[in-house]
Amino acid sequence: MKAFELYQQILGLTTPWRVAQVTLKAAAQEVEVRVGHADTIWGCPVCQQRMPLHACEERRWRHLDSCPFQTVLGSRVPVVTYSEHGTQTVAVPWAEQFARSTGLFERLAIDVPLECSITGAGAVLGISWDEADGIKPRAVKQGLAPKRPMGMPGSRVDKKGVGHGHDCLTLVAHAEARRTTVQYAGVGRDQEGLDAFGAGLLPEPLAGVEAVAVDIRKPCVQSPLNHLPGAAGQIVQAPFHLVKYINTAVNEVRQAEQRRLHAQCGDTLKRTRGHSLYGMENVPASPALRFAAVKELKLQTARAWGIKEVFRNFWLWDTLMLAGWYFARWYSWAIRSRLDPVKKVARLCKRHLGNLLKFFEHRHTIGPMEALRDAIHGLIKKAYGYRDKERFKTDILLHPGGFEAYPTL
């Protein structure tokens, strides 16, 4: 079999395209495959209207290597002129429009950066950093096109810090049985970060969202109410954030009491912050004795810790009715505790009690989002940080996006 016949089969070319010449350039470590054509009538890439050949444009594409040699496809691509769409370059079957590499090479160039950094991927593929990084936005665009219409019965909303300060990305994820995939990543932590997601979806998948697990902050709650009619009454407050708030309240009580005790009788509560954040079942053996001694002193910190532990059991009830009864008793205790930080959290929970109780209908949490945040943090470590938020969004959508990012030829 001749070389051009071999590459004709490898490339899967059909009429009117044919391999005309294969040249080995040993000094340059390159194999050049010239692809020709015979037709004089071509279809407009926009409207498929058949038009006569106007001119030809020389193009080159990087292809998968042939043993130790880089393989380059070269062709004089037909150009047609149509009155409505102007001059257009005919689409070729082995690469996407405006791409500088073939579809098969781009599939490999998408897979390699999933396992290493862009610098390492460029070294493996033999391309520059800019070329390797430029393939990712096209892959994300290709993957998002068929993904947008999908439905998401249960969604999770959370944020991920970017850099320093209050710079955040708002993430919307869909939790499935075995994996959690990112559906959207928006700049900002306020309502506008979520509004762009709702505005970009079609009415059918929007109506298919049955419940959304969110933080208790108002912007996170308001945006699903505006854009998700199916989830308007099914906003589920995430247990993780509420337990975090009550832990913060316990620490505030401890700090205030430590300042008061330091002036009277020494550092009784000094270096006990970690102890007060433990759950009853998770207190390690090393600080167990001191932890028990602090509880026996009947301090405000011990009372706040007890209120926090009772609140944690709220999420363990099986039915909505029992959970509502349990919350009423806990709220009565917390509001009479005379501990202002604890009372503040109790009132916050009371205001959002309806959404808290939705948890017992859907059992949605943002636990899957925590695993997703760990995966995103791994991206940050692999890239040694991101200065460009758009590039960060692209990597998030490409890695845990859960879509087919390969080019369609």
Does domain 154-236+365-398 match CATH 3.30.420? Answer: yes
In terms of Cα–Cα distance, which of 79, 88, 16 is closest to 46?
Answer: 88
Please, what is the Cα angle at 273 between 267 and 274, to 5 degrees? 130
In terms of Cα–Cα distance, which of 265, 274, 342 is closest to 303?
Answer: 342
CA distances from 260 to 256, 267, 283 (A): 7, 10, 26
- The β-bridge partners of 76 are 58
Return d(Cα 194, Cα 200) in angstroms, integer: 10
pLDDT at 190: 53
CB 159 within 8 A of CB 366: no
What average pLDDT does the chain have?
75
Average pLDDT of the segment spanning 73-84? 85
Sequence spans of domains, the chain:
3-144, 154-236+365-398, 239-362
CB 39 within 8 A of CB 16: yes
Confidence of residue 351 (pLDDT cuts 50, 70, 90): confident
50-54, 346-350, 398-402, range with the lowest pLDDT = 398-402
Each residue of 138-161: b (16+ CB within 10 Å) or e? bbbebbbeebeebebebbbbbbbe
> What is the reported pTM?
0.62
Tell me the residue length of the chain. 409
**Statement: residue 225 has pLDDT above 60:** no
Residues 309-350: tens digit of each pLDDT = 888 888 888 888 888 899 999 999 999 988 999 999 999 888
pLDDT at 332: 92
Return d(Cα 151, Cα 228) in angstroms, integer: 12
Neighbours of 347 (CB within 10 A): 12
For the chain, percent of residues with pLDDT exceeding 70:
67
Residues 158-193: tens digit of each pLDDT = 666 666 555 677 777 776 666 777 777 776 655 555
Confidence of residue 254 (pLDDT cuts 50, 70, 90): confident
Residues 194-211: tens digit of each pLDDT = 555 554 444 444 444 555
| β-strand pairing of 180-187 with 211-214 | unpaired
**Statement: residue 218 has pLDDT above 60:** no
**Statement: residue 276 has pLDDT above 50:** yes
Residues 99-152: tens digit of each pLDDT = 888 888 988 888 888 788 888 888 888 888 888 888 888 777 777 765 544 445
How many helices (H) and strands (E) are present in the chain, helices listed first?
17, 12
CB 276 within 8 A of CB 283: no
In terms of Cα–Cα distance, which of 339, 143, 344, 380 is closest to 255?
Answer: 339
More confident residue, 224 or 17: 17
pLDDT at 203: 46
**Statement: residue 75 has pLDDT above 70:** yes
CB 396 within 8 A of CB 182: yes
Contacts of 340 (CB under 8 A, 6+ apart): none
What is the three-class DSSP state of 73? strand
For the chain, percent of residues with pLDDT exceeding 90:
6
16-25, 213-222, 297-306, range with the lowest pLDDT = 213-222
Average pLDDT of the segment spanning 41-59? 80
